[in-house]
Amino acid sequence: MLPYEGPELDTATPRQYASVEDLARPRSGVEEEDYEVPGVGWIRIKGITRADFLTAQRRFGEDLQAQERFILSRSVIQPRVTEAIAGQWQEASGVQEINKLAMRINEMSGITQGADKSVVEEA
């Protein structure tokens, strides 16, 4: 078969280009879910956006505690958690309590081990 021979391309359906509004429309695809904090109760969480992820890195650099407080303030939506409340939570909880929650938030956000991180490295 010659290189120019092959299946016919579908030219009947024109491409539909995105608008500026389409690009700015929230569409993270991250769903909310209920999460049980053992011995505490249920909370409502959601994944973070790319903007949240980049802001945490830029604003707090190597301060992982501050990054965690920021991410918790963006991800825990019921009850509403501020960075100050997240700090109190860090002081009151055992190591695994927030760690397990953070792993679930990462999964919901698409930033778990094995996820493509090349985009993050370029930022």
Mean pLDDT of 98-109: 93
Q: How confident is the model at residue 4 (pLDDT cuts 50, 70, 90)?
A: low
As to burial, measured by CB atoms within 10 angstroms (0-12 exposed, 13-18 middle, 19+ buried), residue 69 is buried
The predicted-structure confidence for 30-62, as pLDDT tens digits, reads as follows 678 999 999 999 999 999 988 999 999 999 999
Identify the structural domains of the chain with CATH numbers, from first to last.
Answer: 30-122 (3.30.2220)
**Per-residue pLDDT at 123:** 41
**Per-residue pLDDT at 75:** 95
For 44, other C-beta atoms within 10 Å of its C-beta total 14
Q: Is the pLDDT of residue 122 over 60?
A: no
Mean pLDDT of 77-99: 95
Q: How confident is the model at residue 13 (pLDDT cuts 50, 70, 90)?
A: confident
